Amino acid sequence: MEVILKETVDTLGQEGDIVKVKDGYARNYLIPKKIAVLANKGTLAQLEQEKAAIESRREKTQQGSENLAKKLSGVTVEIEQRVGEEDKLFGSVTASDIADKLVELDIEIDKRRILLTEPIKTIGETVVPVKVGFQMNTEITVKVVPIEEE
């Protein structure tokens, strides 16, 4: 089944793209959630009329993503954690912890965009990928240090 995307979906494409998906996926998910519409003569004609506006939104989104990538590149986030024997952490550093530290650096980012495969459980530096836009990632360095106890 061919559908026209009304918004960008990471696994399918960008807003305005005509994509072929399985019937059930379109009927049960994309169309009811208003993420896509069925591609027919009427919707294709409407897409042609809206093409300039869609392209403008894509460029604006792309520009925002590039700005965020520039802002994040080279950023090192330092997180203090309690440490036990053999430098093992009491707990772990999660995407939420990283997002909170980025807010302190005046960089607002959703924790779901931080692509941490599993929580960090050791002291040291870890390179963490961050999704900044459609098929666009950048990396930040997360440095986990022990809390200095007095």
pLDDT tens-digit profile, the chain (150 residues) = 999 999 888 888 888 899 999 999 999 999 999 999 999 999 999 988 988 898 898 899 889 888 888 888 888 999 988 887 777 788 889 999 999 999 988 888 889 999 998 998 888 899 999 998 888 889 999 999 888 765
Annotate 53-92 with b (16+ C-beta within 10 A) or e (fewer).
ebeebeeeeeeebeebbebbeebebeeebebeeeeebeee
Q: Which pLDDT score, from 0 to 100, does residue 27 have?
A: 94
CATH topology of domain 2-67: Ribosomal Protein L9; domain 1 (3.40.5)
Q: Which pLDDT score, from 0 to 100, does residue 73 have?
A: 84
Span 73-146: which CATH code? 3.10.430.100
